[in-house]
């Protein structure tokens, strides 16, 4: 009788292991394309010059308001598929969670009446200049530094872009769906990226918003904060419930990520409490994006689970506040946190790093001598 019971239990364990393996294969491992909304948001600032070729330019004469609202240029969206403001109901699962309450959208930075072309003129160079820690060109200025704060090591990429289309996303295997993965270095190499970090690993879930390079792939409900980067250079972090496809199209969304949480409050102040699990809030390797004002951003990758201790969400919030950012957003972390600079992984990824479904890149879009 006892032997029969033990045999039955072992059989159950074996069946459970088999079922879990099959489940994981179909849920996460095997590549599977997902249905995409396929809504294309055109760049309202793109101009076609026969002499210069097709390129995207900043609104040279546009003066930004405090809200960072777009200029008079309109936005057209060519809908190629379903146009949905929401999708399947979101569950209670949280990626990075949410730190903003409804109505708590982080707007852009302070008002400034200086045209963009003059604003950061001292950051750019007429020709490409490359050093070990910097890259400057007529459209891009990047400075990468390794910083130490106590037992925490992090890498800070200070970024100025004159053309927002230099701030790109890459999808693993150039495919949208679950199970598609590639190393950040691999995606950076394919895109000739100057700088790359892992993204929000959208392929691991079906919820949330995915906008990459002006295409809305997904706009499902989510409990997480959503970060949107617009064609006019502004960046907003909002509760997931406040995102709408119509607004994204009207406001000219260029990129959008779903992971979170927001790292700064609506007025740019430090956040000390986050509605997420203790494991997510505690010290971990992290990747995050910071926003100062249109055209000026930063990417931070924090090492952890090794010689570096990793960083908690409250401490990361403090870091972005100390950097002077007006908005900041947490991306996928842990073993995913990787920064690639000049074709090399420069941080110490936990566990050797992990392939991801997407990456954030800074790459030239115009030819420079």
Between 25 and 111, CB nearer to other proteins: 25
In angstroms, what CA-CA distances link 132 with 146, 303, 342, 344?
Answer: 12, 20, 8, 11
The answer to whether 7 contacts other proteins (rule: CB under 8 A) is no
107, 158, 163, 207: which one contacts other proteins (CB under 8 A)?
207
The answer to whether 206 contacts other proteins (rule: CB under 8 A) is yes
Half-sphere exposure of 305 (CA within 13 A, CB side): 16
Q: Could you tell me which stretch among 68-76, 90-98, 227-235, 247-255 binds other proteins (CB under 8 A)? A: 90-98
Count of residues of this chain found to bind other proteins when the rule CB under 8 A is applied: 29
Distance, CA of 273 to CA of 282 (rounded, Å): 12
Q: How far is the CB of 110 from other proteins (least distance, A)?
A: 34
Q: 17 — alpha (psi -120 to 50), left (phi > 0) or beta?
A: alpha
HEC assignment per residue over 70-82: CCCCCCCEEECCC
Q: Could you tell me which stretch among 55-63, 92-100, 124-132, 309-317 binds other proteins (CB under 8 A)? A: 92-100
Of residues 251 through 290, those in contact with other proteins by CB under 8 A are 259, 276-277, 279-280
The answer to whether 32 contacts other proteins (rule: CB under 8 A) is no
Distance, CA of 149 to CA of 309 (rounded, Å): 10
Q: How far is the CB of 12 from other proteins (least distance, A)?
A: 4
The answer to whether 204 contacts other proteins (rule: CB under 8 A) is yes
The answer to whether 222 contacts other proteins (rule: CB under 8 A) is no
The answer to whether 28 contacts other proteins (rule: CB under 8 A) is yes
Between 51 and 278, CB nearer to other proteins: 278
Q: Could you tell me which stretch among 136-144, 151-159, 205-213, 265-273 binds other proteins (CB under 8 A)? A: 205-213
In angstroms, what CA-CA distances link 253 with 75, 174, 356?
Answer: 10, 20, 23
92 secondary structure, DSSP code: S
Specify the 3-state DSSP secondary structure of 122: helix
Closest CA to 81 of 257, 222, 209, 219: 219
The answer to whether 26 contacts other proteins (rule: CB under 8 A) is yes
Q: Are 354 and 199 in contact (CB under 8 A)?
A: no
Q: How far is the CB of 56 from other proteins (least distance, A)?
A: 33
Q: Could you tell me which stretch among 89-97, 99-107, 186-194, 266-274 binds other proteins (CB under 8 A)? A: 89-97
- State the residue for tokens 């409490």: 273
Between 217 and 230, CB nearer to other proteins: 217
The answer to whether 94 contacts other proteins (rule: CB under 8 A) is yes
Distance, CA of 315 to CA of 302 (rounded, Å): 11
137, 205, 222, 284: which one contacts other proteins (CB under 8 A)?
205
Q: How far is the CB of 146 from other proteins (least distance, A)?
A: 28
For every residue of 222-276, DSSP letters joined together read -SSEEEEEETTS-EEEEEGGG--HHHHHHHTEEEEEE---BSB-TTSPBP---BS
The answer to whether 11 contacts other proteins (rule: CB under 8 A) is yes
Neighbours of 325 (CB within 10 A): 26
Query: Which tokens is 117 given?
Result: 């072309």
The answer to whether 23 contacts other proteins (rule: CB under 8 A) is yes
The binding site for other proteins (CB under 8 A) comprises: 8, 11-13, 15-16, 19-20, 23, 26-28, 91-95, 97, 201, 204-207, 259, 276-277, 279-280, 332
């Amino acid at each position: 009788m006892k032997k029969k019971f033990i045999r039955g239990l072992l059989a159950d364990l074996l069946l459970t292991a088999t079922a879990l393996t099959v489940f994981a294969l179909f849920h996460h491992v095997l590549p599977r394309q997902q249905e995409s909304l396929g809504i294309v948001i055109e760049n309202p600032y793109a101009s076609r010059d026969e002499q210069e070729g097709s390129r995207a330019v900043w609104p040279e004469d546009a003066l930004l308001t405090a809200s960072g609202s777009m200029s008079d240029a309109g936005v057209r969206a060519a809908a190629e598929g379903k146009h949905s403001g929401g999708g399947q109901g979101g569950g209670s699962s949280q990626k990075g969670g949410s730190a903003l309450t409804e109505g708590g959208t982080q707007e852009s930075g302070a008002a400034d009446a200086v045209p963009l072309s003059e604003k950061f003129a001292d950051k750019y160079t007429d020709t490409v200049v490359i050093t070990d820690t910097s890259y400057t060109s007529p459209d891009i200025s990047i400075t990468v530094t390794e910083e130490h704060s106590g037992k925490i090591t992090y890498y800070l990429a200070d970024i100025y872009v004159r053309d927002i289309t230099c701030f790109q996303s890459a999808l693993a295997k150039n495919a949208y769906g679950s199970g598609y993965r590639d190393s950040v270095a691999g995606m950076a190499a394919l895109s000739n990226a100057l700088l790359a970090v892992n993204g929000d690993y959208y392929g691991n879930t079906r919820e949330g918003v995915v906008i990459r390079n002006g295409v809305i792939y997904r706009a499902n409900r989510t409990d997480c904060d959503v970060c949107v980067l617009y064609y006019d250079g502004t960046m907003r972090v909002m509760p997931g419930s406040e995102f709408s496809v119509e607004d994204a199209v009207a406001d000219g969304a260029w990129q959008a990520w779903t992971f979170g949480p927001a790292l700064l409050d609506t007025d740019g102040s430090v956040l000390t409490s986050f509605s997420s699990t203790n494991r997510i809030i505690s010290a971990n390797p992290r990747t995050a994006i910071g926003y100062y004002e249109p055209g000026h951003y930063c990417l931070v990758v924090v090492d952890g689970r090794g010689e570096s201790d990793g960083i908690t969400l409250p401490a990361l919030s403090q870091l972005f506040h100390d950097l002077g950012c007006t908005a900041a957003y947490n991306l996928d972390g842990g073993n995913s946190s990787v920064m690639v600079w000049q074709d090399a992984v420069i941080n110490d990824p936990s566990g050797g790093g992990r392939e991801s479904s997407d990456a954030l890149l800074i790459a030239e879009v115009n030819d420079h001598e």
